[in-house]
């Protein structure tokens, strides 16, 4: 047993980076709106540590609006090759503008331009409309650095519960649950 879920997560993520063919940093993000209507989608982990698990998005997207209304989330990493998953639950806070700027600057230029061209999660009449907007933004910013859009930033899920699930024969799985209380982590097991 480990006393720190972040040490175990780092070990598992490193193993996933070696074993998973595509996107070992992919995680399902579950949110709910003000009324409690749930939604889930895949996002990419862009940073993690004892302070939380970070991803970036258009803050006007469905997930951004849901997190503004109800700043709680759940994450799920599923590493099928390793037959493991990690579930994380907790409150959400926005990253600092400096963190968002740093990450945005590291993105490929076309990804940066796409953040300006896309009204993420809004209805789109046809693909040509988006492609034309992308080309327009590309021409406007040709030869210039692409600034981070004011509506684009990061979110940090601050874990209060972290569950490590390992597949076992006959569905006799192992489930290790870390729970945060009074500033320290406690670990226990769950029935499969």
Active site residues: 171
3-state SS string for 45-99: CCEEECCEEEEEEECCCHHHHHHHHCCEEEEEEEECCCCEEEEEEEEEEECCHHH
CA distance 61 to 120: 5
| Coil, strand or helix at 154 | strand
């Amino acid at each position: 047993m480990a006393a720190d879920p972040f040490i175990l997560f780092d070990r598992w993520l490193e193993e996933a980076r070696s074993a998973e063919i595509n996107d070992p940093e992919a995680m399902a993000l579950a949110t709910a709106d003000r009324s409690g209507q749930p939604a889930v989608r895949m996002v990419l982990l862009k940073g993690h540590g004892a302070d939380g698990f970070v991803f970036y998005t258009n803050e006007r997207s469905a997930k951004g609006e849901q997190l503004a209304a109800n700043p709680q989330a759940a994450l799920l990493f599923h590493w099928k090759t390793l037959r493991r998953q990690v579930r994380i639950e907790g409150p959400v806070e926005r990253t600092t503008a400096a963190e968002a700027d740093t990450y945005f600057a590291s993105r490929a230029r076309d990804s940066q331009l796409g953040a300006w061209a896309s009204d993420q999660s809004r209805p789109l009449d046809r693909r040509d409309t988006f492609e034309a907007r992308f080309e327009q933004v590309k021409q406007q910013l040709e030869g210039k650095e692409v600034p981070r859009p004011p509506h684009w930033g990061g979110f940090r899920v601050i874990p209060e519960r972290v569950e490590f699930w390992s597949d076992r024969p006959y569905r006799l799985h192992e489930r290790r649950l870390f729970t945060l209380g009074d500033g320290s982590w406690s670990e226990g097991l769950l029935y499969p």
